[in-house]
């Protein structure tokens, strides 16, 4: 059985209090559902402000979930006001998303900046999920996983078809030689199994569906324990 990567992306949502409440409720739902995921790595990519309190709680309760950031500075530690360096992120989490289409669209991130971010993340030892909107977009060397996320499918409720996503992902694998490629764009508890049952698709990157603890627990269960 292939190993899945399920990475929730909270985007710019939740306060510390809301995040801790989510974690406790998510854990309770997973236990209620008896969801098991030895065959999956579950990662929660959260705003920087939530990494520390969530890490404390995850460590305390020994929960089977890893943390990730949603961005990283293209520079090392130093005089870069407002940035969070890869070394600072690595202190609190093991994963980072780089190149999400919202970063490209609203913050003007270019392939050049993104390659710098990958270098920084890599040298700090972070696992990198690199997002691309299609199979033509360049993927810098050194990333651990690629997320294929067609822009029109993000936050719209209109996902790609599993067949097309599988086809694009096969193409990305051939082009980049990166073995782990996941799909993102309106993934839900209802459609997740149809994506991960495609041979080429190694997991999913749900945004909206990760904000609700019950939906995220169901999504994990449906991905890992298909009926």
Chain centroid to CA 4:
12
The total of other beta-carbon atoms located within 10 Å of residue 66's CB is 17
Query: How far is Cα 180 from Cα 6, in angstroms, rounded to an integer?
Result: 11
Q: Which stretch binds ligand PGA (CB under 6 A): 22-30, 114-122, 184-192, 193-201?
A: 184-192
Near ligand PGA by CB under 6 A: residue from 50, 114, 172, 187:
187
**What is the closest distance, in whole angstroms, from the C-beta atom of residue 77 to ligand PGA in the complex?**
28
Give the binding range for ligand PGA (CB under 6 A) out of 12-20, 114-122, 137-145, 201-209.
Answer: 201-209
Q: Which residues fall within 8 angstroms of residue 50, CB to CB, at 6 or more apart?
A: 10, 14, 16, 19
Q: Which of 9, 93, 120, 218: binder of ligand PGA (CB under 6 A)?
A: 9
Which one of 76-84, 138-146, 169-177, 202-210 is the stretch in contact with ligand PGA (CB under 6 A)?
202-210
Rounded to whole angstroms, the Cα distance separating 19 from 174 reads 38
* Interior angle at CA 16, CA 27 and CA 89, nearest 5: 90
Tokens standing for residue 117: 């971010």
68 scored as a contact of ligand PGA (CB under 6 A): no
Q: Which helix (H) or strand (E) holds 58?
A: helix 48-61
Three-state secondary-structure class, residue 160: coil
137-156 residues in contact with ligand PGA (CB under 6 A) are 149, 154-155
Residue closer to ligand PGA by CB (options 67, 209) is: 209
Binding status of residue 96 toward ligand PGA by CB under 6 A: no
- Say if residue 63 is exposed, middle or buried (CB neighbours under 10 Å; 0-12, 13-18, 19+): middle
Least distance in angstroms from the C-beta of 209 to ligand PGA: 6
206 is a contact residue toward ligand PGA (CB under 6 A): yes
Cα 90 from chain centroid (whole Å):
16
Identify which of residues 11 and 87 has a Cβ nearer to ligand PGA in the complex: 11
Count H helices and E strands in the chain, helices first.
8, 8
Among 74, 166, 185, 203, binds ligand PGA (CB under 6 A): 185
Catalytic residue, chosen from 25, 100, 109, 199, is 100
Q: Are 203 and 169 in contact (CB under 8 A)?
A: no
Examine the residue annotation and report whether 149 is marked as an active-site residue of this protein. yes
Q: Pick the catalytic residue from 102, 109, 127, 149.
A: 149
99 binds ligand PGA (CB under 6 A): no
Binding site for ligand PGA (CB under 6 A): 9, 149, 154-155, 184-187, 205-209
Known catalytic residues are 100, 149
């Amino acid at each position: 059985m292939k190993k899945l990567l399920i990475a929730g992306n909270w985007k710019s949502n939740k306060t510390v209090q809301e995040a801790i409440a989510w974690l406790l409720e998510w854990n309770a739902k997973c236990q209620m559902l008896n969801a098991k995921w030895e065959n999956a790595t579950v990662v929660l990519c959260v705003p920087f402000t939530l990494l520390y309190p969530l890490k404390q709680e995850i460590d305390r309760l020994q929960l089977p979930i890893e943390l990730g950031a949603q961005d990283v500075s293209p520079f090392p530690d130093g005089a870069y006001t407002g940035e969070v360096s890869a070394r600072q992120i690595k202190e609190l989490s093991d994963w980072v998303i780089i190149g999400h289409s919202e970063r490209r669209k609203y913050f003007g991130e270019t392939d050049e900046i993104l390659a710098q971010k990958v270098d920084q993340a890599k040298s700090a030892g972070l696992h990198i999920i690199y997002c691309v909107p299609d199979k033509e977009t360049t993927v810098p060397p050194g990333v651990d996983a690629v997320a294929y996320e067609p822009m029109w499918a993000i936050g719209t409720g209109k996902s790609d078809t599993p067949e097309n996503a599988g086809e694009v992902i096969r193409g990305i694998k051939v082009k980049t030689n990166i073995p782990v490629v996941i799909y993102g764009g309106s993934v839900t508890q209802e459609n997740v199994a149809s994506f991960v049952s495609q041979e080429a698709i190694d997991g999913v990157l749900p945004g909206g569906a990760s904000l609700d603890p019950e939906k995220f627990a169901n999504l994990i269960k449906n991905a890992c324990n298909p009926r």
